[in-house]
Amino acid sequence: MAAQCSALAVNAPLADPFRAVGLPVIPDAVPGQGPLGGILAAMDWAAACGAGRVVTVAVDTPFLPPDLVARLARIDAPAVLAEAADGLHPVAGLWSVGLRDDLRAALAQSMRKVRLWADSVGAQSVLFEDAEAFFNVNTPEDLAKADMILQARTAAFDTILVVDWSARAAPSPAKPSKDAIHIGMARNGRLAGSYHRTRAHALLWLTGLMDAELRAGRRVLVVFDFPFAYPMGFGRAVTGSDDPLALWAELARRIEDDDRNANNRFNVAAALNSLFEGDGPFWGHPQSRAVAGLPFRKPAYAGFAFDERRRIEHRVPRAKSCFQLMGAGSVGSQALLGIPRLQALRDRYGDDLAVAPFQEADRPIVLAELYPGLIDGAIKSQMRDGDILDAVQVRSLARALSRLSPARLNVMLAEGDPVEGWILGHGHEAELIRALA
């Protein structure tokens, strides 16, 4: 749930059993009132935090949908409940904190049924297709069943590829060098690396490998080191939709990127800027080349209806904004030139390919976003004289991901924001570092 909410807390009568969780523990506002008392406590806590709504779920439901909050939030109602094939799950709901007084009065009149009270305030529901999304673990038998469910959902990959992308405007040097495209591969217990001078050549190499893996019935995870999405609100302003994959299609329509890396990314950024008043949101260009509509320096973002950074970039402060096109560590140009190439993969493989976390990672080919800086200290410690950092990063990360248990990797792929995307491995840095050893 951490990826779906701005803050988390546990509702319980006693704090001690939950101290190790590392979250605030809030007692019932009105003790002894069952789940409704917990919902009221959650509302009071959220209101004190300045939030207008709060989502509640049972702590013993391990398979909650990664898009639970996003889908509940689409419904304009004071209370929105989750529903599955086995019926309504009223404890899993999104509540307006403005319902606090009504709920407090209802509890004073001995109201105990969540569904009955929710109906009285005009609650609506959202149907989730996953029949096990709200499965409760209450007994040892339930725990055994949960383990079986998890194993059945495991996303095991035969081949893992990690791609360090490049936004060069000309072919990279013939001799492997930094700031070029490097790909690390973990396959059949072996590590390999490859170097590519152009984006077109890298895509040709990737599709050749993925075609062969598909024919062999093998699954492939491909992770790239550039943002897969933009801050909430940007996509809607450009395409009329919050669907990040709609923005992928739009960028693929606008971007021109030839076999020698010549491209129009700065012009596309300027054209996108023209959709908004003032400077930005994209910024940065070579000092030797002024681009009308594209500021050289970072603009003020206060006038935009969206943030400069995605939620995940606020959690990983070292990660740069996707709107920055030039400068040390910038990734904006890589995203503008990378997303259209990923859209080409979507067009080529259709239903055989999924993009995490926007789609379920249950296809033969899965794409995901990764930020090497998550564990760069551990990676740099493995470098030797003459090594190229980019090459070491992709091989090391491919090895680490391949050493994770299938269940753990499946959990990581399921995490993230369905609109803004996510950095694979955030929150699991210690596990990745251990897997490098």
| 410, two tokens | 């499946």
Q: Which pair of tokens denotes residue 280?
A: 């930005």
d(CA 125, CA 110): 24
Distance CA 333, CA 325 (A): 5
pLDDT of residue 239: 98
Does the predicted model carry a pTM greater than 0.95? no
Secondary element (H or E) of residue 72? helix 68-73
Instruction: List pLDDT tens digits, range 115-129.
Output: 999 999 999 999 988
What average pLDDT does range 405-432 have in this prediction? Answer: 93
Architecture of the domain delimited by 10-145: Alpha-Beta Complex (3.90)
- Separation of alpha carbons 158 and 227, rounded Å: 25
CB 418 within 8 A of CB 70: yes
Collapsing DSSP to helix, strand or coil, 95 comes out as strand
> What confidence score (pLDDT) does residue 155 get?
45
Instruction: Supply φ then ψ for residue 69, to 5 degrees.
Output: -65, -40
CA distance 386 to 402: 26
Helix axis angle, 265-273 relative to 332-349, nearest 10°? 100
* Bond prior to 281 in cis (omega within 30° of 0): yes
In the chain, DSSP finds a helix count (H) and a strand count (E) of 15, 12
> How would you classify residue 364: left for phi > 0, otherwise alpha for psi between -120 and 50, otherwise beta?
alpha
Check residue 210 and give its pLDDT: 98
Q: Which residues contact 328 (CB under 8 A, 6 or more apart)?
A: none
The pLDDT assigned to 148 comes to 64
What pLDDT score was predicted for residue 1?
84
What pLDDT is attached to residue 43?
93
Higher pLDDT pick, 142 / 299: 299
Residues of the chain above pLDDT 90, percent = 74
Task: Examine the pLDDT at 19 and tell me if it is beyond 90.
Answer: no
In this structure, the chain runs to a length of: 437
Facing residues of 82 across strands? Answer: 89, 126
Burial of 148 (0-12, 13-18, 19+ CB in 10 A): exposed
Q: Is the confidence at residue 10, as pLDDT, over 60?
A: yes
Domain boundaries defined on the chain? 10-145, 154-437
Residue with tokens 């409940």: 81
Q: Among residues 47, 27, 141, 23, which one has the least CA distance to residue 96?
A: 47
Give the 3-state secondary structure of 291-333. Answer: ECCECCCCCCCCCCCCCCCCHHHHHCCCCCCCCECCCCCCCHH
CA distances from 151 to 61, 133, 155, 356, 434 (A): 16, 15, 9, 19, 23
Asked whether residue 13 carries a pLDDT value surpassing 80, the answer given is: no
Interacting residues of 254 by C-beta distance below 8 A, sequence separation 6+: 268, 271, 272
**Mean pLDDT across the stretch 15-27?**
78
Radius of gyration from C-alpha coordinates of the chain: 24
**Closest listed residue to residue 388, CA positions, set 176, 173, 192:** 176
The pairing of beta strand 181-187 with beta strand 159-164: antiparallel
Enclosing H/E stretch for 368: strand 365-369
pLDDT in tens, 69-107: 999 999 999 999 999 888 899 999 999 999 999 999 999
pLDDT (tens digit, 9 = 90+) per residue, 137-182? 999 988 888 876 675 555 479 999 999 999 999 999 999 999 999 9
Q: C-alpha distances in angstroms, 138 versus 14, 22, 59, 87?
A: 19, 22, 10, 19
Between these two residues, 208 and 112, which has the higher pLDDT value? 208
